[in-house]
C-alpha cells in the first residue's frame, strides 16, 4: 500500500460521502494503491451508518475504526495512524476544508525529494475573525519562546508523512496528545506548503473559543515546564523586593523618623501575594493532574468496531 489517508470524523454524516468522492476524484489517475482510514470519534449523528454504507457500496479501499465514545481529535489521529498501512500517511480533515488534490501534490513532492520526510500545509490566510487570528499568532509566538521545539505559524495537522515519521509519532504514547507539538518534537525534515482553507462542506466546527483556549493551555503544559520556573522566579523576585523594602522602612524610621502608614500597603500586598500564590498553585496543580492522568496509563482510545477493507464482517475489538 503506497498511501493511507487518515480522516478523523466527529459528527460528519453529511461530509463523509462527499469527502470520499473528492478523494476518489483527486486520486483517479495517481497510479498507485491507496486506502482511506476513517476514524469515527464517537459521533452522535449518523456518521457511522454513512461510513458503513460507503464501505458496502463502493470502495475496496475503505478502512473504518469506530470509537466507543468521543475521545477527541488527537486520539482519532493516533488511532488512524496506528491502523494505516501505507508507506506514506496523509492526515486530512473529513469536512473538505483541506483539498485532497493537495494531498496528491504532497505525495509527488515526497517522491521527488527523498531528503524530505514530511510535507505539511500551513494556512497563509486564515478565514477567521481578527481576534482569533491575533490570539493564535500570540500562541505560536509564545510557544516558540518557551519551548525548545519550533512551531510554524498557521501549520495545521494536514500533512503527509513517511512511514519512519509515522512510527516515530506512534512511539510517543503519552495520553495528553498535542499533535502540533509531537510532529515538531519528533523532528524529521518537513517541507511546508501554503494552502487556503475552504468553507466547511456541511456541519459546523467543533472548536469553540473555550476549547481552543484549553487546547492551547494543554499544549503549553505538555511541552514546557517554563510556568513552574516562572513561579520560582516570581517568588524569588517578591522575596528580594520585600528585603529591599524592609531596609528602606528601617532607614526611614531611624534616620528621618518617618512613621510608615501601613494599612493600604498591607492590604494590597496581601492580596497581591495571596493571588500570586493561588495562581501558581493552580499551575502546579495542572502539572500534577497531567502527571496523575499519565500515571494511570489508560489507553488513548477504545475501539468499538473495526472494519478492514474488503473484509466480510467487522470485528469488534476493545483495545
Ligand atoms: N474531530 C474529531 N473529534 C473531535 C472534534 C473534531 O475527530 O472531537 C474531527 C472533525 O470531524 C474534523 C476534524 O477533526 O474532521 C477537524 O475538526 P473541525 O472541522 O471541527 O475543526 P476546524 O476545521 O474548525 O479547526
Ligand atoms: Mg474543519
Please write the tens of the pLDDT for every residue from 66-118. Answer: 999 999 899 999 999 999 999 999 999 998 889 999 999 999 999 999 999 99
User: What was the pLDDT predicted at 108?
Assistant: 93
Nearby residues of 67 by Cβ (< 8 Å), 6 or more positions away: 39, 40, 41, 42, 75, 76, 79, 301, 302, 303, 304
Rounded to the nearest integer, the mean pLDDT of the chain is 86
User: What was the pLDDT predicted at 126?
Assistant: 67
User: What was the pLDDT predicted at 315?
Assistant: 53
User: What was the pLDDT predicted at 243?
Assistant: 84
Split at pLDDT 50, 70, 90, the class of 310 is low
User: What was the pLDDT predicted at 260?
Assistant: 67
Stretch 147-159: mean pLDDT: 83
Provide the edge-to-edge strand list for the sheet that holds 303-307: 190-195, 118-123, 155-162, 88-91, 3-9, 34-40, 62-67, 303-307
Mutate to test the pocket of ligand 1, among 11, 37, 73 (most ligand atoms within 8 A of CB): 73
Stretch 137-158: mean pLDDT: 82
Q: Is 136 in the pocket of ligand 1 (CB under 6 A)?
A: no
User: What was the pLDDT predicted at 235?
Assistant: 86
In 3D space, the residue among 207, 208, 231 whose CA is nearest the CA of residue 287 turns out to be 231
Cα(313) to ligand 2 centroid in Å equals 31
Percent of the chain with pLDDT strictly greater than 70: 95
- Domain spans, the chain: 3-223+298-318, 226-296
User: What was the pLDDT predicted at 312?
Assistant: 42
Choice between 113 and 249, residue whose per-residue pLDDT is larger: 113
User: What was the pLDDT predicted at 124?
Assistant: 77
User: What was the pLDDT predicted at 166?
Assistant: 95
For ligand 1, atom 21: residue with the closest CA:
205
User: What was the pLDDT predicted at 251?
Assistant: 86
User: What was the pLDDT predicted at 228?
Assistant: 87
Q: Is 19 in the pocket of ligand 1 (CB under 6 A)?
A: no
Cα(301) to ligand 1 centroid in Å equals 16
Q: Is 12 in the pocket of ligand 1 (CB under 6 A)?
A: yes
Mutate to test the pocket of ligand 1, among 78, 93, 139 (most ligand atoms within 8 A of CB): 93
Tell which atom from ligand 1 comes closest to the C-alpha of 197.
23
Stretch 167-179: mean pLDDT: 90
120 pLDDT more than 90:
yes
Cα torsion through 74, 309, 5, 168, rounded to 10: 60
The grid cell for 162 is 513517511
User: What was the pLDDT predicted at 311?
Assistant: 47
The grid cell for 67 is 470509537
For ligand 1, atom 2: residue with the closest CA:
73
In 3D space, the residue among 164, 2, 171 whose CA is nearest the CA of residue 86 turns out to be 2
Choice between 166 and 205, residue whose per-residue pLDDT is larger: 166
In 3D space, the residue among 36, 82, 42, 41 whose CA is nearest the CA of residue 58 turns out to be 36
Stretch 20-47: mean pLDDT: 90
Please write the tens of the pLDDT for every residue from 17-28. Answer: 899 999 989 988
In 3D space, the residue among 155, 138, 79, 98 whose CA is nearest the CA of residue 319 turns out to be 79
Split at pLDDT 50, 70, 90, the class of 168 is very high
Q: What is the CATH number of domain 3-223+298-318?
A: 3.90.550.10
User: What was the pLDDT predicted at 127?
Assistant: 66
Amino acid at each position: 500500500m503506497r498511501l493511507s489517508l487518515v480522516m478523523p470524523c466527529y459528527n460528519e454524516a453529511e461530509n463523509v460521502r462527499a469527502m470520499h468522492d473528492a478523494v476518489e476524484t483527486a486520486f483517479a489517475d495517481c497510479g498507485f494503491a491507496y486506502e482511506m482510514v476513517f476514524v469515527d470519534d464517537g459521533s452522535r449523528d449518523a456518521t457511522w451508518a454513512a461510513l458503513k454504507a460507503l464501505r458496502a457500496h463502493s470502495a475496496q479501499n475503505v478502512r473504518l475504526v469506530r470509537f466507543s465514545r468521543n475521545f477527541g481529535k488527537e486520539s482519532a489521529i493516533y488511532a488512524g495512524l496506528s491502523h494505516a498501512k501505507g508507506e506514506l500517511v496523509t492526515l486530512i480533515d473529513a469536512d473538505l476544508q483541506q483539498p485532497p488534490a493537495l494531498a496528491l501534490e504532497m505525495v509527488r513532492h515526497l517522491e521527488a525529494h527523498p531528503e524530505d520526510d514530511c510535507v505539511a500545509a500551513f494556512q497563509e490566510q486564515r478565514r477567521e475573525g481578527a481576534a482569533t487570528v491575533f490570539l493564535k499568532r500570540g500562541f505560536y509566538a509564545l510557544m516558540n519562546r518557551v519551548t525548545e521545539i519550533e512551531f510554524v505559524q498557521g501549520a495545521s495537522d494536514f500533512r503527509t508523512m513517511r512511514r519512519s515519521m509515522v512510527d516515530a509519532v506512534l512511539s510517543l504514547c503519552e495520553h495528553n496528545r498535542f499533535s502540533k507539538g509531537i510532529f515538531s518534537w519528533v523532528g524529521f525534515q518537513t517541507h511546508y506548503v501554503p494552502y487556503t482553507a475552504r468553507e466547511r462542506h456541511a456541519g459546523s466546527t467543533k472548536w469553540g473559543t473555550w476549547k481552543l483556549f484549553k487546547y492551547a493551555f494543554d499544549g503549553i503544559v505538555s511541552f514546557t515546564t517554563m510556568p513552574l520556573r516562572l513561579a520560582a522566579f516570581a517568588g524569588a523576585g517578591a522575596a528580594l523586593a520585600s528585603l529591599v523594602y524592609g531596609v528602606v522602612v528601617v532607614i526611614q524610621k531611624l534616620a528621618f523618623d518617618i512613621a510608615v502608614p501601613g494599612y493600604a500597603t498591607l492590604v494590597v500586598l496581601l492580596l497581591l501575594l495571596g493571588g500570586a500564590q493561588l495562581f501558581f498553585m493552580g499551575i502546579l496543580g495542572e502539572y500534577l493532574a497531567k502527571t496523575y492522568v499519565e500515571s494511570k496509563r489508560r489507553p488513548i482510545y477504545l475501539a468499538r468496531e473495526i472494519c478492514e477493507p474488503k473484509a466480510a464482517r467487522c470485528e469488534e475489538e476493545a483495545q
